Amino acid sequence: MKNIIWLNDHLIKESKEDKTKGAMIGGGETTLGAFIKKGKELGHNIELLDPYTIDMDKIKKADLVILSNVLPGIKQDKFNFQDIDWIIENKPFIKLEHDATFCSFRNIQCDDFCERTRCHPYWYRKIFDKAKKVIFLSPLQLKLHLKFFWKELGSKKYIESNATQIKQYEEKWIDNWSIMKKDKVHCIPPYVSKTIFCSSETARVKGTYCVVGAIYGGKGIRDILEQYESLGKNLRFIGPGIDPILIGAISHAKHTIVPPVVHKDMPSILQKYEYMIISRRIRKQNSAGQYLIDEKENSMYSYMNEGFGRIVPEALNCGIRILIDKESKEHFGAYSYGWTNEEIIDNCNKSNEEFWKVITNE
């Protein structure tokens, strides 16, 4: 049994009524919550702390620290740089990355190097270098991080390759990713239970379509509105409304916005739908804010990367048919393992066991 302190920038929101300061229930929190639950079942003593609850005395007494999404800074809702640096220098720790924490947008879209002045990849090199183990949710997430942290994460083969060779490796990443990383680097998908997320033919309504997730541009919402305009009221958007312009566009198109639900209620919601639409295509704009229309001269779209996208195994478990364009699929971590739909379901169903085998060296 280990005494483990788990640091994350948010605590886990247990219900709609949970008013704990800084708590939330996004995909990342759902993922780490499942890992923590399994760890406790295995007998480990685990305490989750955030910037509001961090206790250095507890950390100093811990056998192991797990750094999840850890964002240092000077604001109250950020971890103190000195505290994190002390942990890195003095405690054995694991780095679990379920976003792109070093990026201010938490999403790596730069092609070769980071041009965003608010990002700080260089400080994170120390974290990746000194971690006992580094865990990503998918090979796609690993590939994107290797562009910035090749020395800390990459194998000898990757480090010694030139840009042309790396591009060739990336073109067949499903076959190559496992030999492009250091031995301490692992890819483990989030845990999604087969017994909790399961199909119900009696609940399913034929001819129904859903879009799940926050309503903002990065989730490909505008692209979905353009591609599936004819669905009208049969298309339902399930998630928090972040972009008021897109909310208006959804209503204008006579689609339906369903209020966000707590994660424990998601299985019964998903079971009602026959199709799920996913896109990560974002229409490019010129300097005047006009959408590009000439695809031959300049690609019309950019794509938001999804580190994993746990909604994929959740939907597959519930028997939903997923509609996703080829390019968006290439930017979804869930598909970057090269698994079939059945393999995605099976591997996510046992990933919490795999996670703790890696942590405990079993």
pLDDT tens digits, residue range 207-237?
A: 999 999 889 888 899 999 988 887 777 789 9
Closest alpha carbon to 193 in 3, 6, 350, 51:
350
Q: What is the pLDDT along the chain (362 residues), one digit of tens a residue?
A: 789 999 998 877 655 555 556 555 666 678 888 999 999 999 999 999 999 999 999 999 999 999 998 887 777 778 898 999 999 999 999 999 988 888 766 667 655 445 555 566 677 899 999 999 999 999 999 999 998 899 999 999 999 999 999 999 999 999 999 999 999 999 999 999 999 999 999 999 999 999 998 898 888 999 999 888 877 777 899 988 889 999 999 988 889 998 888 888 899 999 999 999 999 888 776 555 555 555 554 567 788 888 999 999 999 999 999 999 999 999 999 999 999 999 999 999 999 999 999 998 85
Clarify whether residues 307 and 275 are in a common domain: yes
Which residues have a Cβ under 8 Å from the Cβ of 199 and sit 6 or more positions away?
A: 271, 317, 318, 319
Identity of residue 34: A
Q: For residue 89, give both structure tokens.
A: 């220098």
Cα-based distances in Å from 131 to 23, 65, 144, 290: 26, 10, 19, 45
CB atoms within 10 A of CB 9: 21
Instruction: Indicate whether 203 belongs to any domain.
Output: no
Instruction: Indicate whether 25 belongs to any domain.
Output: yes
- The answer to whether 247 touches 241, Cβ cutoff 8 Å, is yes
Total structural domains within the chain: 2
Clarify whether residues 135 and 224 are in a common domain: no
Q: For residue 25, give both structure tokens.
A: 């229930």
pTM: 0.90
Instruction: Indicate whether 239 belongs to any domain.
Output: yes
Instruction: Indicate whether 260 belongs to any domain.
Output: yes
Closest alpha carbon to 314 in 269, 353, 260:
269
Clarify whether residues 172 and 221 are in a common domain: no
Q: Is 72 helix (H, G, I), strand (E, B) or coil?
A: strand
> Within the chain, where are the H helices?
27-41, 56-61, 81-90, 121-130, 139-146, 150-153, 156-159, 163-171, 173-176, 221-227, 244-252, 266-270, 311-317, 326-330, 341-349, 351-360
What pLDDT is stored for residue 292 in this prediction? 56
Share of the chain above pLDDT 70, in %: 86
Determine the structural domain holding residue 323 and report its residue range. 209-336
What pLDDT is stored for residue 336 in this prediction? 97
Clarify whether residues 324 and 355 are in a common domain: no
Q: Is 42 helix (H, G, I), strand (E, B) or coil?
A: coil
Q: For residue 78, give both structure tokens.
A: 């950020």
Cα-based distances in Å from 44 to 1, 37, 48, 348: 5, 10, 13, 22
Instruction: Indicate whether 176 belongs to any domain.
Output: yes
Q: Which residue has the tokens 């005494």?
A: 3
Clarify whether residues 147 and 234 are in a common domain: no
Instruction: Indicate whether 273 belongs to any domain.
Output: yes
What pLDDT is stored for residue 112 in this prediction? 44
Q: CA–CA separation, 267 vs 316, rounded Å?
A: 11
Q: Is 19 helix (H, G, I), strand (E, B) or coil?
A: coil
Q: Which residue has the tokens 């695809």?
A: 295
Q: CA–CA separation, 311 vs 278, rounded Å?
A: 10
Clarify whether residues 224 and 258 are in a common domain: yes
Closest alpha carbon to 303 in 358, 223, 228:
223
Structural Rg of the chain based on CA atoms: 21
Q: How does pLDDT run across 181-190, given as a tens digit for each residue?
A: 999 999 999 9
